[in-house]
Amino acid sequence: MKIRIEWTYKARNGAEAAFYADEMPAAQALMLTEDIERTGRAKHVKLIDRLDNLWTVKELKRYLKEIDTEPHHITVYFDGGFDLESSHAGLGCVIYYEQNGKSYRLRRNAHSTELKSNNEAEYAALYLCLQELELMNVHHLPVLFKGDSQVVINQLTGEWPTLENNLSAWADRIEEKMKEHGIQPEYQLIGRKLNTEADRLATQSLNGVPITATIELAD
C-alpha cells in the first residue's frame, strides 16, 4: 500500500506552514510520521492512501503487522502467445512477492485451445495471474501488473477504448475479479526484453511444457 503524508509545522514563533509528501510505501510513511511527530512541532498529521482513506499511526502499525504473514509487495508479469497455425495459446504468469520477511517468485503457465487471437491470449494470461493471486489469498492490497501488451495495458487503464466484444468480456471479468478481492491494480507497460520470464513460460506452454513452481529468492 502507498501512503502520502500531510502535516502542519508550527515554529517556535507561532508561524505555521503546511507540508505534503508524495506517496511512498506504508512502512516508510509510518517511519517518517513517527519521526515528524517526535519533533513536537507537527500538527494535524494525516496518513492518506490512494483511495483517500485516512489512517492513524496505530491503524497503520496494525495493518503492517497483519500483512507481514501474508503475501505483499506484489509485482506480476504476464504474457500470452498465440499460434495462428494451430490456434493454440500459451499463457505465462510470474509473481514476485514478500512474505514473513522473505522474497519469493512464483512461475506458472497454462495452455488453451479456446482463444482466437494474441490479444485475447494476453488478457487470458492476466486473468491466470489473478487466479494465482486468489489461490495465494491476496486481497485488499495494491498489485503492480507489468506486461508488454499495449492493447491490454492501455484498455485496462482507459487510454484506449475496448471495441471488440471478446476483449471487452475479458476486461469485465478482470475488473470484477479485482473488485471481488479488493485488489488495487497499477499497470505498467514494459518492453518485451523486460518481460522475458513470462514470455518464456507462454512459449513453453505452446511447446507442451507445463510449469508450476515457487522458489525463495536469495537476498
For residues 147 and 129, give the distance between their C-alpha atoms in angstroms, rounded to a whole number: 12
Q: What is the pLDDT of residue 209?
A: 97
Judge whether residue 12 has pLDDT over 90.
no
C-alpha cell at 90: 500459451
Q: Residues 38, 118: one domain?
A: no
DSSP state of 174: H
Given 49, 67, 85, which residue is the final one in a domain? Answer: 67
Question: Per-residue pLDDT tens for 198-209?
Answer: 999 999 999 999
Q: What is the pLDDT of residue 20?
A: 82
Give the residue numbers spanning the domain of 36: 2-67
Q: What is the pLDDT of residue 175?
A: 96
The dihedral built from the CA positions of residue 57, 62, 67 and 68, taken in this order, carries a sign that is positive
Q: Residues 140, 99: one domain?
A: yes
Q: Residues 86, 42: one domain?
A: no
User: Which residues does 46 contact at the CB level (< 8 Å), separation at least 6?
Assistant: 5, 6, 7, 54
Report the candidate in 9, 54, 8, 58 with the shortest Cα–Cα distance to residue 30.
Answer: 58
Q: Residues 205, 99: one domain?
A: yes
pLDDT greater at residue 27 or residue 215 = 215
Task: For the full predicted model, state whether its pTM sits above 0.75.
Answer: yes
Pick from 34-43, 79-88, 149-158: least confident = 34-43
Give the count of domains, the chain: 2
Q: What is the pLDDT of residue 25?
A: 81
Given 41, 67, 93, which residue is the final one in a domain? Answer: 67
Q: What is the pLDDT of residue 161?
A: 94
Q: Residues 57, 76: one domain?
A: no
The dihedral built from the CA positions of residue 121, 214, 172 and 192, taken in this order, carries a sign that is negative
Greatest Cα pair distance, the chain, in angstroms, is 77
Q: Residues 146, 163: one domain?
A: yes
Q: Residues 52, 125: one domain?
A: no
User: Which residues does 74 contact at the CB level (< 8 Å), separation at least 6?
Assistant: 95, 96, 97, 133, 138, 141, 142, 143, 144
For residues 153 and 67, give the distance between their C-alpha atoms in angstroms, rounded to a whole number: 28
* DSSP element (H, E) containing 183: none
Dihedral angle of Cα 132, 138, 142, 146, to the nearest 10 degrees: -10
Mean pLDDT (the chain, rounded): 92
The CATH number linked to 177 is 3.30.420.10
Pick from 30-44, 133-147, 148-162, 198-212: least confident = 30-44
Strand bridging mode 72-83 / 142-147: parallel
